[in-house]
């Protein structure tokens, strides 16, 4: 399986990349981003682009990609709707369309978030992205809606407020997991691999479901 990963330097993407590189099911990993990951591995190829909204220069290199793990994202805090929509919706849709043009059998795993069916601005943008990805014609689209995410593989949150909240809730992780509200970036990565391997088209997975699927790898 040849995997394409976006957002590989982010909190979730770091874990997804590490799991993909270590998984026997994954034969090649291509990272798409604006800066290098700093990771060296025999499976890994990096495509560094200046503008994620223009993939014309590297489109032909996606022909052998079987599945995209889209982990690129940003908090909506402090962002206007246009900026958040560009990062969350426009970039994901452009990458998905480009991948589909190069490989009609491509799959797409989209990192969304718990509450993405709500009425907040960020939720509506996420839901629109989920829906339009599903209607694009890809062989499989699987949506991941985690809630609290534990960072493994050295992942660190950015921003004092997020670090404070993370430190506050981390000791409660076992209890949150018990009620299906917590997962980890590593389990998201493993669950994406299983979803691609099994072709779980149309599934929308919460934290508990992510953990259960990850355990099958």
* Burial of residue 114, with CB atoms counted within 10 A of its CB: 0-12 exposed, 13-18 middle, 19 or more buried: middle
Query: In this structure, what are the phi and psi dihedrals at residue 183, rounded to the nearest 5 degrees?
Result: -145, -165
The CATH number of whichever domain residue 83 belongs to comes to 3.40.50.720
95 and 73 Cβ atoms separated by less than 8 Å? no
Segments of 132-185 assigned E as strands: 140-145, 148-150, 182-184
List C-alpha distances in Å: 82 to 52, 89, 90, 110.
Answer: 16, 10, 10, 20
Q: Rounded to an integer, what distance in angstroms lies between the CA atom of residue 134 and that of residue 142? A: 8
16 and 69 Cβ atoms separated by less than 8 Å? yes
Domain limits for position 27: 2-214
In total, how many domains does the chain have? 1
Query: In this structure, what are the phi and psi dihedrals at residue 37, rounded to the nearest 5 degrees?
Result: -85, -25
Question: Mean pLDDT per segment of 10 residues, for the chain of length 217 residues?
Answer: 97 97 97 95 96 95 97 89 97 98 97 95 97 98 94 72 52 60 93 97 97 96
Radius of gyration over every alpha carbon of the chain, rounded to an integer in angstroms: 16
Segments of 50-176 assigned E as strands: 67-70, 107-111, 140-145, 148-150
Segments of the chain assigned E as strands: 2-6, 28-33, 44-48, 67-70, 107-111, 140-145, 148-150, 182-184, 204-206
2 and 28 Cβ atoms separated by less than 8 Å? yes
Structure tokens at 68: 């995209």
In a 3-state reduction of DSSP, which class is residue 174? helix
170-173, long-range: CB < 8 A, 24+ apart: 173/148
């Amino acid at each position: 399986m040849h995997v394409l990963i976006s957002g590989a330097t982010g909190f979730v993407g770091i874990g997804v990349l590490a799991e993909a590189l270590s998984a026997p099911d994954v034969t090649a990993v291509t990272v798409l981003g604006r800066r290098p990951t700093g990771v060296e591995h025999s499976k890994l190829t990096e495509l560094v682009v200046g503008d994620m909204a223009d993939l014309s220069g590297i489109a032909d290199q996606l022909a052998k990609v079987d599945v995209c793990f889209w982990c690129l994202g940003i908090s909506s805090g402090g962002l206007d709707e246009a900026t958040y929509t560009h990062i969350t919706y426009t970039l994901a849709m452009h990458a998905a369309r480009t991948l589909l043009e190069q490989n009609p059998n491509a799959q797409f795993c989209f990192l969304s978030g718990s509450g993405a069916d709500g009425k907040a601005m960020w939720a509506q943008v996420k839901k629109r992205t989920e829906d339009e990805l599903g209607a694009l014609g890809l062989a499989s689209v699987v949506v991941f809606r985690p809630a609290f995410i534990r960072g493994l593989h050295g992942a660190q949150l950015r921003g004092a407020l997020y670090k404070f909240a993370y430190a506050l809730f981390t000791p409660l992780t076992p209890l949150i997991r018990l009620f299906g509200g917590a997962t980890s970036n590593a389990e998201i990565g493993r669950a994406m691999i299983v979803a691609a391997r099994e072709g779980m088209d149309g599934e929308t997975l919460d934290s508990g479901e992510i953990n259960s699927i990850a355990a099958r790898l």
